[in-house]
Structure 1
């Protein structure tokens, strides 16, 4: 399995769906309140952002973290045939709803791609490929097919497969022995601000852990399960995540790092790190 280019965002081919369909509340990540299904006041008529180069200093850090996994251009150009919600206002609510669902489907495809490549079991790789095919077919269908999908059921199937692959891969790094060194290193753990610098964290299960502001500088996270871990403000300077499991671009965008941070090959180094 190889990562599809459609799982990477192409903002120039999108009708600014993340800036319209989604809402956000005023916070450290957003300077204003914006209701869902309403255009951001910073949106230009050609669907570009008028403050794109100044999002962080203007208080819109959340915009620099977000990644639609290519759902935006897929919905804009494929599902709705290149006709925007501005040209056809009657499509507005349907387009926004489809975008939210396709974003979830594309994110599942992103994880399944990695699971298929990382497993040592050909049968599991085959299961990942079959599940990816089912999800891709739905994502590429028309609006009714997308909105009729049982996303919760698909999430469950994907979650089970990802966990099975995670156990297999982490086990190859002696995950059980590593985890017992520190009982706090477990799924869903509250590790906000934790001092975890210069540690060998190979194979630990940090799925869904709260690592907000955690110090992971210089640590080795080979085969660590990072699925859904909250890395906002986490210090990753010099850390090695090159073979960590289930790391996404939004997680890296939310964290802090530098040129010495080792990332998985399919991720990009965030601009603000440099």
Structure 2
């Protein structure tokens, strides 16, 4: 409780410059370590779950690989023509030497995974972890004073998710800034890796893949399990290193202030 007393004293005295910064570093380090442990658990989950075939899959935690085909209407790419299973976009605005994200979103549809032995319905949700192949990433930069390409302008006008005035007239202040439009997508027919929990559908027509309540994980990836595992492992090491570094800096600053 000593650190809490010190923090309270710093707040009361108004001397926050040298006294609160160490605690910010320590708190930040703890957050990085927490995220690293979370990613490590996710890595273990991927590593410990064997890939099954649709034909042999049973209710419970399930890992599948196969071609993804939408059930019903596919998702449209945000900033270009193309049908996909999942699409993500981000809009950044530059100004004053910095960049600010002004809109972001992810869209998906229920789809079937076909691995050659059968098909299983996959139903992503709001907390699903989506992973995209680097080949299906596109970035468009628009200089200040220039108009958006027609497909991007149309998306902005039609999307209720984009809260910006940059859709109609180049005279608006938004267009004085440089903009960056980034999209990621998983095309229809892509070989996808999915991990979740197989459950009996409500109409008893077969199994459907949803979130695994035990691990609270649901992964839809355009990467294979080995690539997803490798990327997650790299993230674990980086997060833990940054967390320990921040905590070390915070403790050093505390000792130096004594």
Category of TM-score, reference length = shorter chain:
under 0.3
TM-score normalised by L of structure 2:
0.27
Normalising to structure 1: TM-score of the pair?
Answer: 0.25
